[in-house]
Amino acid sequence: MMMPQRFIKYLSIAVLLAAVLALGLPHESVRAQDLPPQAPTDDEVNAIAKQLYCPVCENIPLDVCPTQACAQWRELIREKLVAGWSEDEIKTYFVAQYGDRVLAQPPASGLNWLVYIIPFLAIIAGIYILYRALRAWSQPGQEAAEDIPQVESIDDDYVARIEEELRQR
């Protein structure tokens, strides 16, 4: 059995194409690995820096602090991102270096949990006090009657004598 000329031609083209693809694909993946890692944008760096406070300045977020030290720390964040560190790893690194005070949102552990619970309790207490005050203002007659001491009946002769003396004058 003899194969037609056209079939052999298509078969050879298919084999050649498969060989080129097989040799070309690994080459492309190796070439993609050789590319330098893409530097993170300023927005990516500042997204992490907003969550950290300057360890040198008081109460200034790292993303807006104008000191040279903060510029270096932002650059350190950029380097850590290029190295493949996650946001949590970077924050953990800064906490290990400078303590919990560098975090914009302190962890809810130890006495720090009071930061989260006290505002809620203050709002509840304020609502209760306001409720009691509004209730007292809306019913003034009852409290006024309760505040007046009850006087025992006075001897009628004594009252009559005082009234007569007042009329004489």
Please state the pTM of the whole predicted model. Answer: 0.47
State how far the Cα of 118 lies from the Cα of 123, in Å rounded to an integer.
9
The total of other beta-carbon atoms located within 10 Å of residue 85's CB is: 16
The whole-angstrom separation of Cα 75 and Cα 71 is 6
* Domains of the chain as residue ranges with CATH: 42-106 (1.10.8.640)
pLDDT tens, position by position, 124-162: 999 999 999 988 888 766 555 556 555 565 678 888 888
The span from the CA of 137 to the CA of 147, in Å, is 15
For residue 116, give Cα distances in angstroms to 11, 21, 166: 73, 60, 69
The token duo for 147 is 């505040």
